């Protein structure tokens, strides 16, 4: 059984390689294979006694032992040869430090490369599009623009465990997802605004709010409800009342009304009364949705996707919550 190097002898050596040798000398080396040649053919391979280990002044034999016991690349073996040729402990320590620094750089570069290479999968893009349309079509949404809708979409997707989403602590890639969500939200808003303005034309096939609802939800996962019809009437009222508003100011105007109503109406009953009044006006002007082919879905039977979207969409932004004093009425 091999013995550990005497600490007193170990302390007498400044060479880092000898300290390393003391660690690997806790087991017996394998027998010398035929054909192994050493520079000193009369000397046995170290490993039998403490005195033999302590007598090594040239680390070249140590390097040969390491090469035999470890499966290293040609580059690694070359570095070991360079290490063995050094005579000063400072030189060897500097080489070891340089190797450590290089490893740290490689690890950082690899981590950064992974961040840069991550891309949104096609399946995730489809999910983002679905959820973005869903929240813009939600009758409970409290603001259509700003960072709020995108963050609510992401939370809804996380709540439902959508595949291919980055981990919650992967901030860099989550920002990529949010950027795509914002892009799809812009598309969805433009589509809704365009369809609403087109429905005001005299020969439009979607003047009835029921037909408009069917057109907007076609090809989506959204099930139109009575609440959705009421929200469409609210949006169409803005298209009529602010016909001369610049295009990029239309949605901010809608958000402004939502915020004003929520801070002015002190109960849910008063808020719902205001929405219902617009719905009644819309039916009188453009026709009752019961005359369309639409069959509104009961909100109690909505799929998990829509329930989650509506729940996230209904959460007020911080500024609105701070200013609201409404008393909830079921």
Over the range 95-106, which residues count as b (16 or more CB within 10 Å of their CB) and which as e?
Answer: eeeeeeeeeeee
Q: How far apart are CA 235 and CA 200, in angstroms?
A: 12
- Report the candidate in 300, 128, 148 with the shortest Cα–Cα distance to residue 223: 300
Alpha-helical runs (H) found in the chain: 7-11, 16-24, 50-54, 60-69, 74-85, 89-117, 122-136, 148-159, 171-198, 209-217, 226-241, 250-264, 268-286, 304-313, 318-323
Q: How far apart are CA 214 and CA 208, in angstroms?
A: 10
Torsion 55-57-58-62 (CA) sign:
positive
Is the pLDDT score of 225 beyond 50?
A: yes
Q: What was the pLDDT predicted at 302?
A: 95
- Distance from chain centroid for Cα 126: 16
Is the pLDDT score of 43 beyond 60?
A: no
SS3 145: coil
Q: At 239, is the pLDDT very low, low, confident or very high (cuts 50, 70, 90)? A: very high
Kindly report, residue by residue over 72-116, the tens digit of the pLDDT. 788 887 887 787 777 777 777 877 888 888 888 888 776 665 556
Is the pLDDT score of 54 beyond 90?
A: no
Is the pLDDT score of 208 beyond 90?
A: yes
Q: How far apart are CA 129 and CA 221, in angstroms?
A: 11
């Amino acid at each position: 059984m091999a013995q550990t190097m005497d600490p007193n002898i170990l302390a007498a050596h400044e060479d880092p390689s000898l300290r390393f040798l003391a660690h690997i000398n806790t087991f017996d080396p394998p027998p010398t294979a035929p054909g192994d040649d050493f520079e000193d053919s009369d000397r046995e391979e170290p490993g039998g006694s403490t005195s033999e280990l302590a007598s090594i002044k040239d680390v070249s034999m140590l390097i040969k032992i390491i090469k035999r016991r470890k499966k290293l690349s040609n580059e690694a073996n070359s570095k070991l040869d360079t290490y063995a040729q050094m005579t000063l402990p400072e030189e060897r320590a500097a080489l070891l430090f340089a190797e450590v620094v290089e490893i740290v750089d490689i690890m950082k570069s690899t981590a950064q490369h992974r961040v840069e290479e991550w891309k949104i999968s096609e399946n995730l893009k489809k999910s983002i599009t679905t959820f973005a349309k869903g929240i813009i079509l939600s009758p409970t949404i409290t603001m259509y623009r700003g960072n709020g809708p995108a963050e609510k979409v992401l939370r809804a997707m996380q709540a439902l465990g959508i595949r291919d989403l980055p981990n919650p602590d992967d901030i860099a890639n989550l920002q990529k997802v949010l950027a795509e969500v914002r892009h799809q939200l812009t598309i969805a808003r433009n589509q809704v605004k365009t369809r609403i303005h087109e429905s005001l034309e005299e020969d439009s096939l979607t003047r009835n709010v029921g037909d408009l609802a069917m057109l907007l939800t076609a090809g989506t996962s959204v099930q139109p409800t009575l609440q959705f019809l009421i929200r469409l009437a609210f949006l169409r009222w803005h298209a009529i009342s602010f016909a001369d508003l610049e295009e990029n100011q239309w949605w901010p105007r809608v958000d402004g009304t939502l915020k004003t109503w929520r801070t002015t109406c002190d109960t849910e009953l008063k808020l719902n009364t205001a929405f219902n009044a617009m719905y009644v006006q819309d039916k009188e002007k453009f026709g009752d949705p019961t005359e369309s082919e639409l069959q509104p879905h009961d909100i109690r039977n909505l799929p998990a996707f829509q329930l989650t979207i509506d729940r996230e969409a209904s959460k007020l932004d911080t500024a609105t919550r701070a200013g609201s004093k409404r008393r909830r009425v079921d």
